[in-house]
Each structure stands twice: as C-alpha cells, then as structure tokens.
Amino acid sequence: MPDQLIYAMEVILNGLMAGVLYALVALGFVLIYKASGIFNYAQGVMALFAAMTLVGIMNGQVPFSHLINATFGTHIHYFGWNVPALFAILLTMAVMVLLAWAVQRFVMRHLVGQEPIILFMATIGLAYFLEGVADLMWGSEIKKLDVGLPQGINLWIDESTFNIFGYGFFIDNLDVVATVIAALLVAALVAFSQYTKQGRAMRAVADDHQAALSVGISLNFIWIMVWSVAGFVALVAGIMWGTKSGVQFSLSLIALKALPVLMLGGFTSIPGAIVGGLIIGVGEKLFEFAIGPLVGGATENWFAYVLALIFLVFRPQGLFGEKIIERV
C-alpha cells in the first residue's frame, strides 16, 4: 500500500476521534435547542466553567480568593485539602444544576415568548457573564486537569497497525476513551429521552409548549432539567478537552467549533450532531493534510465553516434537520 494512503488513513482515524469531541459539544446545543428553541451560545463557556470548577474543587481552591484578597487585604488561596476526582465531579455537577436553576430563574423565565434572535443574544451575554465569573472565582491562569484518564499513545493500535501496514498509527489513548464515553453518553441520552417519564415530558415540551402545559407538564421543571443535562454534557466535554489541552480560556472557543457541526447536522437532531461532528472532523483533518501545505496551513480555523456553508446552500435545514416549511 502506498505511504500516502496509509498516512491519509491515519489522518482519517484521527479526524474521526476529533469529530467525536466536536459532537460532544454539539450535543449540548442540540438538547437545549430541541427542548426550548434557544440556541445556547454559552455551551462552550459552560464547558470551561465546569472544567475550572472541577479543577478548583479538586485542588481545594478558595472561590473568589483573588477578589477577597484585593478587597480585604488578606492572603487566602487554598483550603489546604484535595478532593478525590469522583467526588469533585459530583460536586461540580451539583454546581451545574444550580447554574441551570439560576439561568432558568433569572434569565430565560423573563424571556419566554421573545424572538429567537433575542434569546440567542441573551445566551451570548450569559457566555460573557459566566466567563467573567469563572475567571473571578478560580483565576484565569492555565490549569492542569487530571482525573485519571489514560493519556499518551495507544500501544495496542500502534502495534496491530504496524503488523498489518508496516507503519504504526499514532492514536491518543484519550481520544479512544473520549470516543467510548461519547458513545455511552449518546446511548444514555437516547435511553433517557425514549424510556423515562421525564424524557417523554422533555420530548413533549420540544414538540409543543402549550400542549405540554395543558396535560400538566411543568415547563419550569423541564427547562431546568434540560439545562442541567446540557450542563452535564458540558462537564464531560470540559473534562475531555481540559485533559487534552489544559483548562484555559480557549476551551470556550470549542463552541465555535461545534457551530458548523450543528449546521451540517441540523439543529434539532442528535444523530445529526454525531454524524456532522464526524464529517467535520474527518473533513478538516483531510483538507489540512492534502491542501493545507499548499495554501499556508492553519486551514482548520475556517474549513468547517466553509464546508457547512456550501452544504447549506443545497440543503438549508442541514442533514437531519426538520424540513423548513414557511407560510405567510
């Protein structure tokens, strides 16, 4: 087999793995959009917030310590204990549920019935707010996140591909773990929305708010639940990305990576988010591999958008989106 082809295969494999991570973020968007029609730009910042909270709790950092020190002239930074990863994750989840409640209580509740674009702007405002709060609470320096996920080259894949092709593929263990976790997460979400009472209620709300209200479903509760689930997805995405590249501001930019995924897959479809993520992941890695060197590299920044744009011109609702029917 020619070398180029083998390299291309490795690139595709890595692209698939990256795509899974994109899909993980996109999933959070889809959940909220389906249930409440809100396009939640803050999803990326929620991932950042979750990851920072997790690191902060694990290291026993004092929240807002910087601000307290500056105001009262004290010098407190750490409580002086370390929290085990699993317990810290549970605590962070509690914080995310609290956040979901606050968002619903103080923001979204007052904006019911507004135009979608206004809701979208509100989530951009929320993104700014959360980013500032996260920085104030835990400090803005780059942090290492280690919850005990395996990292480094996957030797088994390396060896087995070496035996077949005579060239070992480089696949990060973390990516493999991420793929497994993403698959589990999607399965769990599907099971939740198909087979549980709350999941059914969620789908009912997504279908028709008023009809759902009239059969006695509490919109408030469902929305808090949806934002909590989105917070949970954000936490998972935050752990994955945070372990991969450190917990820092750029983590919130993964939201921007997830947008073309959504456009491609359609805003309302969970399978769309997965398939879109995979297409974007493979597409941008292959493009960078094949065309990138010719045009100066770093094409990953925009390729996904242009791909999604061209695709949308032919199919304006995305791959799996609901058909757009317009009436006067």
Partner 1 sequence: MFYREAGDFKTSYTDDSQTFPIKFDRYRYYVVLAVGFGIIPFIINDYWANALLLPFLIYAIAAIGLNILVGYCGQVSLGTGGFMAVGAYACYKLMTAFPDVSMFVHVFLAGGVTAIVGVLFGLPSLRIKGFYLAVATLAAQFFLVWLFNRVPWFYNYSASGQINAPERDVFGIIITGPNAPAWATYLFCLIFLAFCAIIARNLTRGTTGRSWMAIRDMDIAAEIIGVNPLKAKLTAFAVSSFFVGIAGALFFAVYLGAVEVGEVFGIQKSFLVLFMVIIGGLGSIFGSFAGAAFLVLLPVVLKVVGVDVLGWPTDIVAHLQLVIVGALIIMFLILEPHGLAQLWRVTKEKLRLWPFPH
Burial class of residue 22 in the structure, from the number of CB atoms within 10 Å of its CB (0-12 exposed, 13-18 middle, 19+ buried): buried
Stretch that binds partner 1, among 75-83, 165-173, 230-238, 291-299 (CB under 8 A): 291-299
Cβ(38)–Cβ(268) below 8 Å:
no
Runs of H (alpha helix) within the chain: 3-36, 43-59, 65-72, 85-106, 116-138, 155-165, 173-195, 197-207, 209-214, 219-245, 254-265, 270-290, 292-295, 300-314
Cβ(214)–Cβ(191) below 8 Å:
no
If the CB atoms of residues 129 and 167 are measured against partner 1, the closer one turns out to be 129
- Measured in degrees and rounded to the nearest 5, phi and psi for residue 86 equal -65, -45
If the CB atoms of residues 81 and 314 are measured against partner 1, the closer one turns out to be 314
Question: What gap in Å lies between CA 264 and CA 281, rounded to an integer?
Answer: 12
Stretch that binds partner 1, among 9-17, 195-203, 220-228, 258-266 (CB under 8 A): 258-266
- Measured in degrees and rounded to the nearest 5, phi and psi for residue 78 equal -125, 150
Footprint of partner 1 on 264-283 (CB under 8 A): 267
Determine if 126 is a binding residue for partner 1 (CB under 8 A). yes
Please identify which residue in 60, 97, 129, 271 interacts with partner 1, judged by CB under 8 A.
129
Footprint of partner 1 on 77-116 (CB under 8 A): 107, 110-111, 114, 116
Q: What's the min distance (Å) between Cβ of 58 and partner 1?
A: 22
Q: What's the min distance (Å) between Cβ of 69 and partner 1?
A: 9
Stretch that binds partner 1, among 149-157, 194-202, 225-233, 292-300 (CB under 8 A): 292-300
If the CB atoms of residues 54 and 126 are measured against partner 1, the closer one turns out to be 126
Question: What gap in Å lies between CA 243 and CA 189, rounded to an integer?
Answer: 23
Determine if 11 is a binding residue for partner 1 (CB under 8 A). no
- Positions that interact with partner 1 (CB under 8 A): 39, 66-67, 70-71, 107, 110-111, 114, 116-118, 120-122, 124-133, 135-136, 140, 256, 259-260, 262-263, 267, 295-299, 301-302, 305-306, 308-309, 312-313, 316-318, 324, 326-328
